[in-house]
Amino acid sequence: MLDKLLTESIYNAVFARVREQDITELRLRAGKPVSYACGGKYHSLPDCPVTAEDIERVIGMATGHSVYAVNDSIARGYIVCGKGYRIGICGEGVMKNGRLFTIKNVTSLCIRIPHEVKGCCEKLQNILENIGNTLIISPPGLGKTTMLRECARELSSRYNVLVLDERGELIPVHEGIMQVETGDMCDVACNIPKITAYATLVRTMRPDIIITDEVFGAEEVRSILDISRCGVYVFASLHAAGINDIFSDETYSPLCKVMRYFVVLGAIGKVSAIYDRGRRNA
C-alpha cells in the first residue's frame, strides 16, 4: 500500500533503511524531513524533505482522487484506506455553520500502519478463557489496537463478537471483505459513530462480546456501563499511563465499576501488569 501512497523518492529513502513490516507510523510534514516509527523510536531522514506535492499525492491516492467523497472523514481529522491504514490530517480548518466542514492546505500527515501479530495475547489467555469486561491501557503507540485485533480473532471462534470500528482500522473492511483474519463468529460495524452503534447494534446483532478501540468521553463511558448492565461483555482500550489514571479521573473512573480486568502495556506489545478487579496478578 505504501508504494502507492508515497512518491518514489520517499518510499525508496525510507525502505532503504527499514522493512515495511517493521514500521508502525510514518510522518510527513511539509518542509521537514520524513520520519518513521520503528521499535518504539522515531527516526528522521534529514536528506529527505517533504514537499506539498508529496502530501497531495498521499491524499489523492488515499481518496481515489475524490476528496469530496470522504470529506466527512477528513472533517474528523483522518482518512482510512487499504487494509486499515489510518492517515491523520493536520492543516487549516474550514468552518461552516459553526462546525468544522473540512481541512484544507494540509501541512502534516500521520500514516499509521496496521499489523497482525498472532500470539501477542499469550499473557491474556486467562482473560480469554474466563471472560470478563477488559480494558487495555497504555499511552499512544504501544499496540493496544493490535492486541484488541488478536483478541477479536481468538474470541470470535467461540463467541458472537461485534467489533465497533469507527475509524476503520481495528478490523479493516474493504468492499465488504474483512482484511484481517477473524473467527467465524465476528461481525464488524465500520465507519459508524460508536455512540450510534452502541445504541442500535447491541439490540439488532445480539453480540456476546463487543470489542472497540480508544474509549473517549463521558457519553461513551455511559454507553459501556449500559451495555454491561445488559450482560454483554466489553473489550476496549483507553489512552492512559496506568490504572491509577483511570481510578482518579472523573470521566473514566465509572468504568472501574464494571471492568474486571485491566491490562497495562509498558512497551510496544508488552504487558507490564494485569489487574483482576483492581488486584494485580501479573
179-194 core/surface letters (b: 16 or more CB in 10 A; e: else): ebebeebbbbbbebeb
Check whether residue 257 and residue 163 sit in a common domain: yes
Check whether residue 227 and residue 177 sit in a common domain: yes
Count structural domains, the chain.
2
Which residues of the chain fall short of a pLDDT of 50?
none
Domain of 182, CATH number, reads 3.40.50.300
Report the pLDDT value the prediction gives residue 91, as an integer from 0 to 100.
96
Check whether residue 218 and residue 272 sit in a common domain: yes
Report the pLDDT value the prediction gives residue 278, as an integer from 0 to 100.
67
pLDDT digits (tens, 9 = 90+) for 117-168: 888 999 999 999 999 999 999 998 888 999 999 999 999 999 999 999 988 8
Domain of 53, CATH number, reads 3.30.450.90
Check whether residue 160 and residue 127 sit in a common domain: yes
> Of the candidates 112, 142, 157, which is a domain's last residue?
112
Within a domain: 117: no
Strand ranges, E, within 134-192: 134-138, 161-165, 173-174, 177-178, 186-190
> Of the candidates 112, 131, 149, which is a domain's last residue?
112
Report the pLDDT value the prediction gives residue 48, as an integer from 0 to 100.
94
Q: How far apart are CA 212 and CA 81, in angstroms?
A: 19
Report the pLDDT value the prediction gives residue 37, as an integer from 0 to 100.
92
